Each structure stands twice: as structure tokens, then as C-alpha cells.
Structure 1
Amino acid sequence: MVTLTVTDVQKEKMVAIKMPHFQIVLLSLLLNGVLSSIIPENHDRRSQVKDLSDLEHQLKGGHNAEYDHEAFLGKEKAHEFDRLTPEQSKQRLGVLVDKIDSNNDGLVTEPEMVAWIKYIQRRYVTEDAKTQWANYELEGAASMSWDYYMERTYGSATDETEMNSETKLHFKEMKDRDYRRFKLADVDYDGKLTFTEYVNFLHPEDAPHMREVVVKETLDDLDKNKDGRISIDEYIVDMWPDMGKETEPEWVTTEREHFEKWRDLNKDGFLDSNEIQHWVMPDDYDHAIAESRHLIYEADSSKDGNLTKREILDHSDLFVGSQATDFGEAFKYSHDEF
């Protein structure tokens, strides 16, 4: 095995770009040939309930249509539509409308739109898990044990003798986090994960029985003084690392107000586990429902609460992009079914 080292210069560059410490540890172990290269992207980061897109829905200049495109199509398909001519884009949108209209009555209702958007989100999660699952090379096995997962993911890093004390500590935290997820995902308690269980392991934010993992990982990451709760400063510095170094921008002041008014339910100045769950996994808000209502409101010319195929096609720019909206280089794509 070729051994590489992370130089002081490399470490300084990592710090300069504000790379999270977990990522520094992961990169250090990878460069030294200790960790496996199949570690999933963002393996070091806590699980979070995802929005429908990584993009901001509202921009300073107004509404961001690309957010709606990704929510309606998924990120990859949205980019694919951006490379189609307007005529091709509308044609394929028409095919999708027929799929969304599940009872074939000529109307897309809110429940049908919600079901579609949730399907798009589930598809991303499943495809991501399939990609990672294939990397473990199970050779037809229907499940994966904890020991096999550890060996394939961390390789010789299971031997901590080559690590310094700081790296060893953070490596232990990563293993503990994985083990916590593994145990909760293993719903039949056989010590192995089937593919379905692995999906929940990889994306615990999408599984109700994994909620405690999402809360625990949020608390672990933000609770810097380890007192079992999140203070307002710990809350702010997680999203604004320059706290105390620069004049506080307006959006940070707004977040402070949100913490005090909406996050800290018992008004004790901290977030406990119940308040963290209410914050990161609110029961009273559903992204898919909110987006469906937004799309229907914007495209519903008749104001009857439903969308006809004509209304959707007349407002196609709201749902999908094309070369006309992307202004990018045109590429030829096949008309494969969605």
C-alpha cells in the first residue's frame, strides 16, 4: 500500500476553505491509504431533513424557477430538460402530466401532485442507495453485516494504531455514528442490513423510526460544550462560522429571532431534544405539500384548485426548463421515457 501524508500546507488549505473537521479527518485517512474510497459523499455530516432542492426557493431578485424544476423533476432530470428545445421540453412535460394524473380524469389534483413530488424525492434516495450498495460488492448477498460494512468502508482504519490521538477520537465518533444508525436501521435485529434497511441507514431523515438518529446527530454536531442542549450561540455559529469576527449580517439577526420565537419553545434559552426534533423534523410542515400548492396556485388559470394538462403546458416554464430558459449550450438527448 502506498502511503501518502497530509502536509502542514495541505492542512492549512483545508482550514482556509473552512472544511469541517470531520472532512479533514476523512481526507487525511484517505490520503494515507487507510480508508476505503467507497465512503459515501458527506459521510461525515449529520443527517438532515432535505428540502426539495439544494437551491434557494426565493432569491433577492424574486422567485427561483430552478427550485421548482428540481422539485418537480429531480435534479438530474431538471438539468436534462434544460438541454432540450422548448418544443421537446413541452412534449416530454405532456407525457409526465399523463403520469401524474393517476386516475386519468384530465385533472391534476393536489393529492396527485403531492404524490408525484414525493415519488421524485423517493427515487433520488433509492438511486443514491443503489449506487452505494453496488460499491460494497456483495456478490449477490441479500444483506450486509456490520463487520463487513466496517471492513469495506474503513478498511485498515479498523486498526487505530497508526492514528494520532485527535484522529483516533474523530474516527471513533464516525464509527459510533455509523453503529447507531446501523442498529436502528436493522429492524429485524439479525445483525445485518438488507437493501431496504440500508436505504434507511443512508438516509435516516426519510424514515420515521430513524428520527432519533437525526436529532442525536444534530445535537452532537452543534452542542460544542457537550451539556446536552444547543445554545443560541451554538445554533448561530453552525450556520455562520464568522460569529464574533465580523458585523452580524441581517439574515443572522433574523435567525436569532427565529431561535427565540419559534425554536426555543419553552423559552429557556436552549434547544433540548424535543425542540431539536420540532426544528429539523417539524410535524406541521411538509415540503411536498407546500410545493404542490405553490405550483397549482401559480398555474391554475381557472382557479378551481386543480390543473388541466393545458394549464400546465401553458405554464411550462414553471415546471420545467429548456434551452430557452437555461441559455446554455444545446445538447442532443434522446426522448427516453421519464
Structure 2
Amino acid sequence: MGKASIFLYLTVALLLLFFLSHSPKKQTGHRHRRLKLRSHFTFSSSHRPVTFDPLVAEIERRREERHWEKHYFELSHEDFPDDESAAGEESQPEWEDFIDAEDYLNDEDKFNVTDRLIVLFPRIDVDTTDGFVSEHELTEWNLQQAQREILHRTKRDMDVHDKNHDGFVSFSEYEPPSWVHIADNNSFGYNVGWWKEEHFKASDADGNGLLNLTEYNDFLHPADTKNPKLLGWLCREEVRERDTDKDGKMNFKEFFHGLFDLVRTYEEENHNGSYHSDFSGDASARVLFNQLDNDDDGHLSDVELLSIIGKIHPPERYYAKQQADYIISQADVDKDGRLTLAEMIENPYVFYSAIFNDDEDQYDYHDEFR
């Protein structure tokens, strides 16, 4: 970004701050809401919303690291006597140290939301530096934040399983999460089959029997993979899970009661609901089924599911766009489909909606992001 663009942003930002500060109570139109770190530490594979501000995301990651270390310590020392464990923990940092971070985030002299938006705006407005944040630019921003967080978690998880510290994980080194052993085997994605050796081998793109960081990231997050072997495995798992009569294929009934709803939901949300009237019911399901059934045998094979696997297991970009659409719908005052810096400053809590809430005992997530 050129010096002229930076100067322009700073000039506009200063003018906005001047007018806001001299408008009678204008900047206090929003009731103050306390900024809270999200308690989103989890060992499940469910999707979670992206933190808009990378500074807040970094603070949350550090807080999460403390929880992770505590959890891993407890799992690794299950037989450790309570008295000795207590003595050993005296030298460790307090797990609640990062409660001070919330005081930092709510100190306007140290962390001012308006100032943060002024700093972040030019970082988002990059596709075409025109003084507007488009839906595409906001989607890309959300995607970058999500990918950074996912890779951080993958590295941490890989460090745990890479027993010989050679930078790779073998199947013998990998230990499935504890919830795999107690999960309901009928729940897709949360059963032992999800973590079996076939999944591991499909993630091994180069076929050397070991997973590097990229392959391990695909192993944990197959929806975002470009590995055709892993995409094929996802399709086979779908057939296996939906194949109630165990004939190795998926008939229309098995497709209709499960997969079609997932595809329909994807289409509706990806097109802002415009598919609602045209992409529902048995007739539409039959049309899609026939389109996928390339060999006209009345069944769907795993290969025939490949074209819709990205709708059954949406990639991270899908959620990034969802979040961008929601933010724009809430902050786009003039309804031109894009955001100005002024609109962002006037609607700051939209961008921090995952951590701001009027009720300090609750966390405010938009339903789409749960």
C-alpha cells in the first residue's frame, strides 16, 4: 500500500474521530458492553466462529494454551499423587492469569475499539483499495484469521502426537481423542471410523506412511483439503454412514433422508435463501439424485458423490463468507453491499459480536456461527 493511501486513510479517520467526538453524545449511542474473552476451548472438531480482531485472537490463543497445557498435564499424569501434583503445580503459572487480559481489553486507553477498526480497515480493504470493504474482502479477511487459528491448533496437536519429535506423525504415534472411544458409533464424524487407519492413509498424500504438517492439518480438517485421496475417503465414509441396507451404495431413500438436507441448506445459505422455494421437496431431491447418478443404476456410489462433497462438508471459506454476509447485513447502513470506515465505527459491536454481550454471564454468538 502506497504512502498516499495510508495518508488518505489517516486523514479520513481523523476527520471521523473529530466529528464523532463533537457530535452531542453521538459516540455514546451504543450502550457500553464489556468485552470478554471467549471461553471456546474445546477438544471436539465442531466449527467455531472466527475472531475478527487478530489482536484479540492472539490473546485468546494464549489463554487457550494455558487450558491446553493444564488438560494435557492432567492426562499425562493421571496416576500422579494429588499431594505431589499440588506441590509440583506451585511453580506453574496460574491458569487464570489471563483474566487480566479482559481488564486490558476494557481499558479504552489501552484498547480502543474505534482505534482498532481504524487500524484494521486498510488491512481489509486490499483487493481494490477504494475506501470500501466488500463482501469478498471481508470473506478473505475472515478466512485468513481462520486459517491462522486452525494451523496454530494443528501445530499444537502435532507436537503432542509426534512422540519422537521428527516433525512427522505415524499412525502408531497417533492416539485418537478420548471422546472417540466413548462416542456413539452412529454419529458421523464422531466415531471410531473417523479416526481409523484408512483415514490416516488417505491423508498421507505422498504415501510415505507419515503425515507432515500439511497432511496432518488435512487429517484434522478434511473439508479444506485439496488431496483427492482424502476427498475420496470422505465420499466413502458418507456412503458407509448412510448405507442402511449395507449394499455398498446409496439409494434414493438413503440420499433423501440425510444428505439432501445438507446440500439444500448449503445452497440456501450460500445464495442468501434464494434457493428456498426451488430447491426443496421430494421432486428437487429426485432431480439432484438423477443428476448425480451418472450410470443410471438407481444408486449413488462414492465416486458419484464427489461433486457435492464440498456441500456436505463445507470448507472454511463457506463459514468465512457466512460471517462476512452477517456483518455486512448488520453494519451496512446505506445498504450498498459494502462497508465504509464510518459504518464500521458506527457499528463496532457487530465486529466483536462473538465476545460482546449485554449479559456478562453469556456469550453472544449469532445462530449461524454456532
Aligned to 1:170: none
Residue identity opposite 2:163 in structure 1: L
Query: 1:288-327 counterparts in 2 under 5 A?
Result: 288-289=320-321, 291-321=323-353, 325-327=357-359
Deviations 1:253-283 (A, max 9, x none): x675663454553587654435533443149
Name the CA shift for 1:208/1:93 in 2 (closer, same or farther; >3 Å): same
- Structure 1 residue 329 displacement after superposition: 4.1
Deviations 1:268-299 (A, max 9, x none): 76544355334431499962345434543543
- Structure 1 residue 200 displacement after superposition: 0.9
- Structure 1 residue 129 displacement after superposition: 1.5
Higher Cα radius of gyration: 2
8 Å contact from structure 2 (residues 232, 303) kept in 1: no
Aligned to 1:63: none
Aligned to 2:158: 133
Kindly indicate whether residue 265 of structure 2 is the aligned counterpart of residue 265 of structure 1.
no
Aligned residue among 277, 281, 288 for 2:306: 277
Deviations 1:152-177 (A, max 9, x none): 559xxxxxxxxxxxx9xxxxx94796
Per the normalisation by structure 2, the TM-score is: 0.49
CA distance in structure 2 between the partners assigned to 1:282 and 1:145 by the alignment: 30
Query: 1:64-213 counterparts in 2 under 5 A?
Result: 70-71=49-50, 73=52, 77=57, 88-102=112-126, 106-149=131-174, 152-153=175-176, 174=192, 178-209=196-227, 210-213=230-233
Structure 2: state its 5+ residue gaps.
Answer: 1-42, 61-100, 178-184, 186-190, 260-279, 364-370
Aligned residue among 226, 230, 236 for 2:250: 230
CA distance in structure 2 between the partners assigned to 1:237 and 1:186 by the alignment: 32
Per the normalisation by structure 1, the TM-score is: 0.53
CA distance in structure 1 between the partners assigned to 2:206 and 2:123 by the alignment: 35
8 Å contact from structure 1 (residues 296, 307) kept in 2: yes
Name the CA shift for 1:296/1:265 in 2 (closer, same or farther; >3 Å): same
Structure 1: state its 5+ residue gaps.
Answer: 1-39, 43-49, 55-69, 155-166, 168-172, 240-253, 332-338
CA distance in structure 1 between the partners assigned to 2:234 and 2:119 by the alignment: 37
Residue identity opposite 2:306 in structure 1: Q
CA distance in structure 2 between the partners assigned to 1:187 and 1:273 by the alignment: 19
Name the CA shift for 1:99/1:185 in 2 (closer, same or farther; >3 Å): same
Higher relative contact order, structure no. (Cα contacts within 8 Å, ≥ 6 residues apart): 1
Count of residues paired in the alignment: 235
Name the CA shift for 1:175/1:148 in 2 (closer, same or farther; >3 Å): farther
- Structure 1 residue 304 displacement after superposition: 4.9
Let me know the Cα RMSD of the aligned residues: 4.6
